């Protein structure tokens, strides 16, 4: 097969082969069963159904009668936008101090300023929380006047300096597919923000992404959470929710601020891709990269549900792009290394998987550059100091999180690396159960093939554009080394994910911006008229298909235009038993097996699957393994202010089926005996509640225990 080559004329050698390969990929792509729907429908059938009956899709956006309701979004969106604006100003001050602002375009300044500033704001929130200052919003607002003054001073000084360096012209722009298509990116960004501002509807988000900030807000400080192991990990992205809670004095609206800021990472990443595509390839490549990223359903999935992999992906891409620019930097090479390292540290502050996905590979690449430069006698400034500067800056980006965990949990990467550091409340048994669940155990060629197929084709929330366009970047003659480097990095991410991490698709998605940048460059493989028209058609069809997927459930929680107050208590979002307890509990609720407790408005006593069971600690006799005397159990329940006990049997059965923890003590017979001995009283479920595999008990008066 003859490789396609770039051509300045109207012909595209190899176009037939490219179109045939593209068509074959789309055939497999559309024929793939939708696993999120149980495999009942193929992807093409599902998309076709909504295209033929669009009212079925639109009706999901308007679950309530009447027109769209958006006024109740103004407050959380405005506060989130304000956080982003202040972060951007702070980040620009840092860029100006490093004098990087003079070597970047306007788009690059916006992107890097926001990326740096968001991590600085997150770190400041962490510092205030550790010092116990969350009870007074003035502690968080105190730096704002200084930031504003420094920003305007930096802008004023820039007016007298030489203008910033423009992006290289790159390839001759023959594609009209340029700024006229940015409105497509705008549509996707709009729906991503609409999804991000909605209340949480996913387990992890309600278990710790928003629950941990809620508990810190209630306590007025950030501390160790012995009942929620996830709340003790690095929570850099979640600090924006805590910031919103403190600023507004309300955990609910503040959580929506945090989710909105997390959703803003998606258009921010697209802005970086637009800038990178323009500099490294051409203006059209930047536009295509931004559109491909925003139209990839994974971007909406992460943003609408409130996952933090989108934030991690932004920092991953920002650090990578900064290192690419470092390669061509002159006197400011050291500044670019500091910027790249700090952004890599920002990724680690979001999630520990950034250690093998971002910090280690980028730092290793720098070490390789040192080795190559020294062997070649390169006189490039800062070469031998490059890894040192990168590492120091990375520690500045995430060091406070590592120090916090070292002091509070006895392990800087709690609960990981237990064999090296140990950890508060952690035991060898817990560590073994953690590893059994979170580490891969099957390393066969068949498993590798299945997982790679899922990454390339089968994952439900892939775009039909990102993989084939990214592959075309490898066939170009110009910028081939750049494409090979990006491809190698993405392959490293997939390899690390397959070898080290929980093989859930969401864990490799931080690498999607790398693929999107490759897709922008790959779309420019030929500038012939035939390919231009074909590309327009492929982009239009791919974006339409992706729009259907990413605005539909289950890819996104999508009542985009429903009243927020209605969604707060919607029974399809909140377990009706939780609503019942919010209305009827006269004290705290002891949760057994339930950890997604964010929506509770009454005090809750709970633990996650691998933390010490609070229920067992109250009920079980450690000497005999049986139940403690009924009066003792009753006395402790009342001493803790517990009025109800909620048992989530559906969660317990799921934990047992997947190997999450030891639930051998929690049996129906235990609760039957507690009822028989007068400690608990069963709450009869209504017809609406009866379908839920759960039971609620009322704590009886102390005098009833033991009768």
Same domain, 510 and 581: no
Q: Look at residue 677 in the predicted model and tell me its pLDDT.
A: 93
Q: What is the pLDDT of residues 335-394, one digit of tens each?
A: 999 999 999 999 999 999 999 999 999 999 998 888 777 665 554 545 778 899 999 999
Strand partners, 270: none
214: pLDDT strictly greater than 70: yes
- Position 75 confidence tier, pLDDT thresholds 50, 70, 90: very high
Give backbone dihedrals phi and psi of 588, rounded to 5 degrees, phi first: -80, 155
Query: CA 520 → CA 199, 392, 419, distances in Å?
Result: 34, 33, 44
DSSP letter (8 states) at residue 209? I
Same domain, 631 and 514: no
Q: What is the pLDDT of residues 404-423, one digit of tens each?
A: 999 999 999 999 999 999 99
The domain boundary, picked from 509, 535, 550, lies at 550
DSSP string covering 117-167: HHHHHHHHHHHHHHTT-TT-HHHHHTHHHHHHHHHHHHHHHHHHSPPPPPP
Same domain, 37 and 96: yes
Q: Which of 498, 494, 510, 573 is nearest to 205 (CA)?
A: 573
Same domain, 532 and 578: no
Q: What is the pLDDT of residues 642-686, one digit of tens each?
A: 999 999 999 999 999 988 989 999 999 999 999 999 999 999 987
- Position 693 confidence tier, pLDDT thresholds 50, 70, 90: confident
- What pTM was computed for the model? 0.94
Residue 277 tokens read as 């595509």
Kindly state whether residue 700 falls inside one of the protein's structural domains.
yes
Kindly state whether residue 564 falls inside one of the protein's structural domains.
no
Kindly state whether residue 6 falls inside one of the protein's structural domains.
no
The domain boundary, picked from 550, 585, 616, lies at 550
Same domain, 525 and 671: no
Same domain, 506 and 636: no
Range of the domain at 77: 15-550
Query: CA 97 → CA 153, 205, 315, 397, 698, distances in Å?
Result: 11, 37, 20, 17, 61
Kindly state whether residue 3 falls inside one of the protein's structural domains.
no
Radius of gyration of the chain (CA): 27
Kindly state whether residue 568 falls inside one of the protein's structural domains.
no
Kindly state whether residue 557 falls inside one of the protein's structural domains.
no
Kindly state whether residue 339 falls inside one of the protein's structural domains.
yes
Average pLDDT, stretch 188-215? Answer: 97
Kindly state whether residue 25 falls inside one of the protein's structural domains.
yes
Same domain, 583 and 541: no
Average pLDDT, stretch 14-27? Answer: 93
Q: Look at residue 375 in the predicted model and tell me its pLDDT.
A: 61
What is the total count of domains within the chain? Answer: 2
The domain boundary, picked from 550, 582, 599, lies at 550
Same domain, 637 and 504: no
Q: What is the pLDDT of residues 609-620, one digit of tens each?
A: 999 999 999 999
> Which percentage of the chain shows pLDDT scores above 90?
79
Same domain, 377 and 458: yes
Q: Which of 640, 633, 641 is nearest to 680 (CA)?
A: 633
> Which percentage of the chain shows pLDDT scores above 70?
93
| CB burial string 566-590: b at 16+ within 10 A, e below | ebebbeebbbbbbbbbeeebebbbb
- Position 9 confidence tier, pLDDT thresholds 50, 70, 90: very low
Same domain, 272 and 418: yes
**Mean pLDDT score of the chain:** 91
Residue scoring higher pLDDT (508 or 165):
508
Q: Look at residue 166 in the predicted model and tell me its pLDDT.
A: 52
For strands 588-592 and 642-647, give the pairing. Answer: parallel
Residue 603 tokens read as 């005090």
**CA–CA gap between residue 295 and residue 454 (Å, rounded):** 19
Same domain, 115 and 262: yes
Same domain, 231 and 367: yes
Strand partners, 681: 698
**CA–CA gap between residue 305 and residue 536 (Å, rounded):** 31
Strand partners, 637: none
């Amino acid at each position: 097969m003859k490789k396609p080559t770039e051509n300045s004329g109207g012909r595209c050698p190899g176009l037939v082969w490219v179109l045939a390969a593209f068509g074959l990929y789309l055939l497999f792509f559309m024929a793939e069963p939708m696993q999120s729907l149980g495999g009942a429908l193929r992807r093409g059938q599902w998309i076709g159904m909504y295209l033929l009956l669009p009212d079925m899709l639109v009706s999901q956006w308007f679950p309530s009668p009447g027109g769209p309701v958006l006024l109740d979004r103004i407050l959380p969106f405005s506060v989130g936008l304000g956080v982003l604006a202040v972060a951007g100003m702070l980040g620009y001050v840092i860029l100006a101090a490093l004098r990087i602002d003079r070597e970047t375009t306007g788009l690059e300044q916006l992107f890097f300023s926001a990326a740096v500033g968001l991590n600085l704001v997150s770190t400041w929130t962490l510092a205030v929380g550790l010092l116990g200052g969350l009870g007074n919003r003035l502690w968080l607002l105190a730096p704002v006047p200084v930031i504003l003054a420094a920003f305007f001073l930096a802008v004023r000084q820039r007016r007298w300096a030489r203008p910033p360096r423009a992006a290289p012209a790159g390839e001759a722009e023959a594609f009209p597919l340029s700024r006229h298509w940015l409105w497509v990116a705008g549509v996707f960004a709009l729906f991503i923000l609409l999804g991000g501002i909605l209340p949480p509807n996913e387990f992890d988000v309600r278990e710790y992404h928003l629950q941990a900030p809620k508990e810190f807000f209630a306590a007025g400080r950030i501390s160790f959470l012995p009942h929620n192991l996830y709340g003790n990990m690095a929570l850099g992205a979640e600090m924006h929710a805590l910031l919103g809670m403190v600023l507004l004095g309300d955990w609910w609206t503040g959580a929506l601020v945090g989710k909105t800021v997390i959703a803003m990472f998606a258009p921010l990443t697209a802005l970086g891709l637009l800038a990178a595509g323009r500099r490294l390839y051409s203006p059209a490549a930047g536009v295509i990269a931004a559109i491909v990223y925003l139209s990839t359903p994974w971007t909406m999935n992460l943003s609408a549900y409130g996952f933090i992999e989108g934030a991690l992906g932004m920092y991953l891409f920002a650090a990578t792009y900064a290192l690419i620019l470092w390669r061509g930097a002159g006197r400011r090479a050291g500044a670019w290394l500091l910027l790249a390292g700090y952004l890599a540290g920002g990724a680690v502050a979001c999630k520990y998987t950034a250690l093998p996905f971002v910090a280690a590979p980028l730092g290793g690449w720098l070490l390789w550059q040192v080795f190559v430069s020294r062997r070649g006698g390169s006189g490039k400034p800062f070469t031998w100091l490059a890894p040192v500067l990168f590492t120091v800056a990375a520690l500045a980006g995430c060091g406070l999180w590592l120090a916090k965990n070292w002091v509070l949990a006895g392990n800087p990467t709690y609960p990981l690396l237990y064999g090296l550091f140990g950890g508060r409340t952690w035991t060898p048994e817990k560590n073994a159960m953690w590893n059994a669940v979170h580490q891969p155990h099957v390393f066969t060629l068949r498993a590798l093939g299945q997982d790679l197929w899922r990454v390339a084709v089968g994952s439900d929330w892939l775009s039909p554009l990102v993989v084939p366009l990214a592959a075309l970047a490898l066939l170009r003659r110009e910028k081939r080394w750049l494409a090979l480097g990006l491809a190698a990095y993405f392959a490293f991410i997939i390899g690390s994910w397959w070898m080290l991490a929980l093989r859930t698709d969401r864990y490799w998605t931080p690498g999607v911006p790398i693929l999107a940048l490759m897709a922008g460059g790959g779309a420019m493989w030929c500038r012939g008229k035939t390919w231009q028209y074909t590309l327009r058609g492929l982009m239009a069809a791919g974006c339409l298909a992706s729009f259907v997927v990413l605005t539909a459930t289950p890819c996104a929680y999508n009542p985009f235009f429903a009243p927020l107050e209605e969604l707060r208590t919607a029974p399809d979002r909140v377990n009706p038993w939780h609503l019942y307890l919010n209305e009827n509990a006269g004290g705290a609720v002891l949760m057994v097996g339930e950890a997604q407790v964010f929506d509770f408005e009454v005090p809750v006593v709970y633990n996650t699957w691998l933390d010490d069971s609070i229920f067992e600690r109250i009920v079980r006799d450690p000497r005999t393994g049986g139940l403690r005397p009924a009066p003792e159990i009753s006395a402790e329940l009342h001493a803790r202010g517990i009025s109800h006990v909620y048992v989530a049997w559906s969660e317990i059965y799921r934990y047992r089926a997947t190997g999450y923890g030891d639930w051998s003590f929690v049996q129906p017979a235990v609760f039957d005996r507690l009822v028989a001995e007068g400690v608990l009283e069963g709450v009869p479920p209504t017809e609406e509640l009866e379908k839920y595999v759960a039971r609620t008990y009322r704590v009886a008066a102390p005098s009833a225990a033991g009768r």
